[in-house]
Amino acid sequence: MRSKKQYYIRTFGCQMNVHDSEQMEELLRNEGFCSTGDDKSADLIIVNTCSIREKAEQKVYSILGRYRGLKQARPDLIIGVGGCMAQQQGTDLFARAPHLDFIFGTHTIHRLPEMIKEVERNRRRLVDTCFHDSVQSIGIVAPPRGGSVSSFVTIMQGCNNFCSFCVVPYVRGREESREIYDIVNEIEVLTRHGVKEVILLGQNVNSYGNTLNNGANFPLLLKEINGVDGIERIRFITSHPKDLSDGLIECFAVLDKVCEHIHLPVQSGSDTMLRRMNRRYTAGDYLGKVEKLREACPRISISTDIIVGFPGESEEDFQKTIDLMEKVRFDSSFSFKYSVRPGTMAERYEDRIPESVKQDRLMKVQKLQERYTLEGNESLKGSVEDILVEGLSKNSSADVTGRTRTNRIVNFPGGTGLIGERVYVRIQNTYIHSLRGELVEKERNWQC
Ligand code: 5AD
Ligand code: SF4
């Protein structure tokens, strides 16, 4: 007989969701659950959902459909659904998936243990999608499992920007920043678990501190974290172009642990589209920020998000996105076909773009990006890169894998002894999604 109950968590969506799932795992472990990689043998299944685009929601419905069969075969199985879709739909989810036991929102993750106990006790369905002013799960410290050297740290919740296409402000609530001391405390705890790199998470990290009214801001936070012993690298996502200050740009030049990479979603190169998207910057403003970033830090790698086929996007508007891509030559980008989201401002726009046009534009953006990514990677051939080794390579156990400071994946021959080390690697071959190289020297030798 099994002594511990087993949980299985299925996560959809962004890094914020991945980190929320890590926090759920921490709560479940504290309740005596252990993890299983096999949903068929789990006593508890949690589906952490995403509603950013329609496709993400369809995937969730499909997995919930599969779990209906599991529940029929084993009525004792408990199934809970959390995340953005749960937040938005609440009890309505029961109509489509009556086999669910409980539904919790983006602000009620901390109630997970309580909800599970109540379902076990009373065997009745539960929903808690309340919004709380102070998001209590935000500070649950979830040290990464399996000796990972990199860890997410949530610095703020929610978003006040209301971009017209985006559902996030409705499902994650208003922006709320954590205090600097609280974040630094969490990072100090993480270093004691071997963490060397932190990835700071927020929907718009550039506006960090605005809700605190105590002078705290993002550059100040970075400076504090830069001073934490044991932390070697600092990354952050996501930055909003309208709030990218000169102070933050300077951090890339002066704070040694801040890695030379910024994810700066542009969404479109057309001012008409940007206005309709409620982005509050123009293509010219964006290009100006890129110039400043490259002046302050010539090696910086810049990635972006692009939406094609936003309502009313003419061929001319689309061409402006291509023009902007040609000017910036992003190191990488995520591109999406516009997808209508219920409750958003853009839902009301009637001049929708046909699916075939969206598909065609997406292909054009992706093809162009592929060229720039390949060219950017190729330019690194022969260079020696500072790599933080994250683990064994997925493709070969004779190789280890890590990242450059500019966020490119590098594989090279090496063993487990290198995991967690910062080493220097000469780049020999370059591909679209990764680079390959050879170890030059370990950092400590390099510094002698
Ligand atoms: N349709 C398509 N893409 C979207 N994104 C957000 N909402 C939508 C939508 N309704 C994209 C944006 C954002 C990224 C996280 O997802 O590009 O930056
Ligand atoms: Fe969505 Fe805009 Fe907020 Fe990003 S900044 S989460 S795109 S509303």
Tell me the CATH number at 418: 2.40.50.140
pLDDT band at 442 (very low <50, low <70, confident <90, very high): low
Residue 162, CB half-sphere, CA atoms under 13 Å: how many?
A: 7
Specify whether the CB–CB gap between 402 and 197 falls below 8 A.
no
| CA–CA dist 183, 208 (Å, integer) | 12
Q: For residue 52, report the distance from its CA to the centre of ligand 1, in Å.
A: 6
Q: For residue 165, report the distance from its CA to the centre of ligand 1, in Å.
A: 7
Q: For residue 177, report the distance from its CA to the centre of ligand 2, in Å.
A: 16
Mutate-to-test residue for ligand 2 from 204, 274, 306, highest number of ligand atoms within 8 A of CB: 204
Asked if residue 283 belongs to a domain, the reply is: yes
267 strand-pairing partners: 306
Domain of residue 40, CATH code: 3.40.50.12160
Are 391 and 327 part of one and the same domain?
no
Q: Comparing 324 with 2, which gets the higher pLDDT? A: 324
Asked if residue 391 belongs to a domain, the reply is: yes
Specify whether the CB–CB gap between 302 and 265 falls below 8 A.
no
Are 110 and 157 part of one and the same domain?
no
With a 6 A CB cut-off, is 163 part of the ligand 2 pocket?
Answer: yes
Asked if residue 447 belongs to a domain, the reply is: no
pLDDT of 133 reads: 67
Are 155 and 254 part of one and the same domain?
yes
Instruction: Provide the total of helices (H) and of strands (E) in the chain, helices listed first.
Output: 14, 19
Are 340 and 391 part of one and the same domain?
no
The whole-number average pLDDT for the span 164-170 is 97
Domain boundary among 87, 111, 128: 128
The whole-number average pLDDT for the span 254-272 is 98
Asked if residue 416 belongs to a domain, the reply is: yes
Asked if residue 36 belongs to a domain, the reply is: yes
Number of domains into which the chain is organized? 3
Domain of residue 203, CATH code: 3.80.30.20
Asked if residue 438 belongs to a domain, the reply is: yes
Asked if residue 1 belongs to a domain, the reply is: no
Are 252 and 358 part of one and the same domain?
yes
Amino acid at 147: G
Mean pLDDT, the chain, integer: 94
pLDDT at residue 125 greater than cutoff 60: yes
Are 49 and 196 part of one and the same domain?
no
Compute the CA torsion angle 208, 212, 216, 221 (nearest 10 deg).
Answer: -50
Longest CA–CA separation in the chain, Å: 66
pLDDT band at 446 (very low <50, low <70, confident <90, very high): very low
Domain boundary among 340, 357, 378: 378
Are 274 and 184 part of one and the same domain?
yes
Specify whether the CB–CB gap between 311 and 353 falls below 8 A.
yes
Beta-carbon count within 10 A of 130 CB: 11
pLDDT of 359 reads: 98
- For 315-360, the three-class secondary structure string (H helix, E strand, C coil) is HHHHHHHHHHHHHHCCCEEEEEECCCCCCCHHHHCCCCCCHHHHHH
Per-residue pLDDT of 3-27, as tens digits, reads: 789 999 999 999 999 999 999 999 9
Domain boundary among 82, 105, 128: 128
Are 169 and 296 part of one and the same domain?
yes
Are 96 and 231 part of one and the same domain?
no
Residue 441, CB half-sphere, CA atoms under 13 Å: how many?
A: 6
| CA–CA dist 122, 416 (Å, integer) | 48
pLDDT at residue 2 greater than cutoff 90: no
Are 197 and 284 part of one and the same domain?
yes
pLDDT at residue 413 greater than cutoff 70: yes
What tokens appear for 159 in the block?
A: 């978003």
| Ligand 1 site residues, Cβ closer than 6 angstroms | 52-53, 165-166, 265, 267, 305, 307, 336, 338-339, 341
With a 6 A CB cut-off, is 169 part of the ligand 2 pocket?
Answer: yes
With a 6 A CB cut-off, is 162 part of the ligand 2 pocket?
Answer: yes
Strands of 107-161, DSSP E: 126-128, 150-154, 156-157
Q: Comparing 224 with 141, which gets the higher pLDDT? A: 224
Are 96 and 169 part of one and the same domain?
no
Q: For residue 408, report the distance from its CA to the centre of ligand 1, in Å.
A: 23
Tell me phi and psi for residue 268, to 5 degrees.
-160, 155
Mutate-to-test residue for ligand 2 from 240, 242, 264, 280, highest number of ligand atoms within 8 A of CB: 240
What tokens appear for 141 in the block?
A: 């410290």
Are 106 and 162 part of one and the same domain?
no
Structural domain of residue 37, as residue ranges?
6-128
Asked if residue 189 belongs to a domain, the reply is: yes
pLDDT band at 445 (very low <50, low <70, confident <90, very high): very low
